[in-house]
Chain A
Amino acid sequence: QQPVQSPQAVILREGEDAVINCSSSKALYSVHWYRQKHGEAPIFLMILLKGGEQKGHDKISASFNEKKQQSSLYLTASQLSYSGTYFCGSEGGGSNYKLTFGKGTLLTVNP
């Protein structure tokens, strides 16, 4: 099953913060985060592994709660370039190499 993302859409002003959540009904081995701009391919942001630490670069970070089977993406001091659709992808691990994506969260950052 697809992981569930929330919210479906969010509108920010430049400089504001946002949190995007991703939850799964299945046990997770890893969670991926991607950003896609309109008409372009998804771009990899980061991956969080089971037992791993919270990751981040620049002002975008993420956490992974294995027990709750949830991950959250944190965008701080948002920039116009952060606009796009954010997807989380969940992987079950073991011999399951399938990366299943959520339906996405549309983030719009306005001046």
Chain B
Amino acid sequence: NAGVTQTPKFQVLKTGQSMTLQCAQDMNHEYMSWYRQDPGMGLRLIHYSVGAGITDQGEVPNGYNVSRSTTEDFPLRLLSAAPSQTSVYFCASSPWDSNYGYTFGSGTRLTVV
């Protein structure tokens, strides 16, 4: 079982560039989400999905798009990168069963210059 796989692990972008952070899980989890982690801010929810074809906004959605065409994949798109989007991004998934917590990917460290 690979769990939650995020690619790339590191990325440097120039201001205004776009890119997609990939997230895939092989546990057949219905729920997937994206968080960003900044020093002293904890984990802040960007977008989440409760199943294929269904997505919704979290606390800090501006500047990001998501889609969920399959159960396994939940990519995060940065439309026009800004220095304020420099952060560590984590993808997480969980099943519907409330007794299970989230499984996090290893993260993507993004720097926007």
Contacts from A to B (Cβ < 8 Å): 2, 30, 32, 34, 40-47, 49, 87, 89, 97-104
Q: Is B42 an interface residue (CB 8 A)?
A: yes
CA distance A89 to B35 in the complex (A): 12
Closest chain-A Cβ to B38's Cβ sits at a distance in Å of 10
- Please give me the 5 A-B residue pairs with the lowest Cβ-Cβ distance, nearest first: A44-B101, A41-B104, A103-B42, A101-B43, A101-B42
**CB within 8 Å for A47 and B45 given contacts A41-B107, A98-B58, A100-B59:** no
Tell me the count of chain B residues lying within 8 A, CB to CB, of chain A: 25
Q: Once the chains bind, are A44 and B42 in contact (CB under 8 Å)?
A: no
Q: Is B84 an interface residue (CB 8 A)?
A: no
Most buried by A among B40, B50, B58, B101: B101
Instruction: Report the nearest A residue to B99, measured CB to CB.
Output: A47
Chain A residues with CB under 8 Å of B40's CB are 103
Chain B residues with CB under 8 Å of A104's CB are 42
Q: Once the chains bind, are B102 and A99 in contact (CB under 8 Å)?
A: yes
Instruction: Report the nearest B residue to A88, measured CB to CB.
Output: B42
Q: Once the chains bind, are B42 and A99 in contact (CB under 8 Å)?
A: no
Contact with A along B28-61 (1 / 0, CB 8 A): 0001010100001111110010100000101100
**CB within 8 Å for A97 and B31 given contacts A41-B105, A44-B101:** yes
Question: A2 contacts which of B31, B42, B105 (Cβ < 8 Å)?
Answer: B42
